[in-house]
Amino acid sequence: MRTHFTLLLLFFSCVAFSQRSEKKFAPPDSFPAVKLWLADSLEEIDQQVLVRLKGKALADSLVAFAEEFKGDRYRRGGTGARGFDCSGFTLVVYRRFGIKLPHTSQGQSLLGVKVPIPQIQKGDLLFFRSRSRRSKRIGHVGIVISEKGEPVRFIHSSTSHGVRVDYLEADYYKKRFMKAARVLPFR
């Protein structure tokens, strides 16, 4: 049974890294095949375990794909090879895994389930005020890349540095943090 879990995790990791060099952003065609394979070969495993495993593997694959863009430049309205804005980055990363998001941080903040800070986990979205600390409007979004219980790290496209990783505890982000939301299924 342990070999089935290892094979499943290995498969999801391979899916995340496939076709990156071509910058294809369509959802992988192999997920329906995975569902069939799971149904045939892992019937003896409790369905709740499968749901958690698929969720963790999906989050791991999503984060691995997002991290491949580190260093790409910021571009207002960008969603691809010439650069990303913050919501364009999250849109592209989630779209790769079949999850459609609007192309605004404000619009993305309306999706999913709100998550308290201690429950934040890999794959969740973090939302921040715009540059003005007094603003009540969401103006920035990033993807959590750390595991639950670790200091919260997130990847995002920042206007000054492009796609990079930062900590929620950093003063700049801590003061502007508004909420976290979970949009991944099976979590």
Contact present, 81 and 23 (Cβ < 8 Å):
yes
Range of the domain at 94: 1-187
Matching residue, tokens 């308290």: 116
Beta bridge partners of 142: 126
Which burial class, exposed, middle or buried, applies to 68 when counting CB atoms under 10 A from its CB (0-12, 13-18, 19+)?
middle
- Examine the pLDDT at 65 and tell me if it is beyond 50: yes
H or E, element range at 36: helix 31-41
Half-sphere exposure of 26 (CA within 13 A, CB side): 4
Mean pLDDT of 138-144: 96
- % pLDDT > 90, the chain: 56
Catalytic residue among 14, 103, 140, 161: 140
| Cα separation, 185 vs 123, whole angstroms | 10
- Examine the pLDDT at 113 and tell me if it is beyond 90: yes
Predicted model pTM: 0.70
The whole-number pLDDT of residue 55 equals 67
Contact present, 150 and 169 (Cβ < 8 Å):
no
4 has catalytic annotation = no
156 has catalytic annotation = yes
Residue 70's nearest CA partner among 89, 45, 91 is: 89
Catalytic residue among 4, 14, 86, 103: 86
Q: Please write the tens of the pLDDT for every residue from 167-179.
A: 999 999 999 999 9
Total domains, the chain: 1
Contacts of the segment 28-34: beta carbons below 8 A, 24+ positions apart: 28/96, 28/97, 31/98, 34/8
Q: Please write the tens of the pLDDT for every residue from 13-49.
A: 444 444 443 444 444 444 433 333 333 333 433 444 4
CATH number, domain with residue 148: 3.90.1720.10
The whole-number pLDDT of residue 106 equals 95
Catalytic residue among 4, 14, 156, 161: 156
The 3-state DSSP class for residue 167 equals strand
14 has catalytic annotation = no
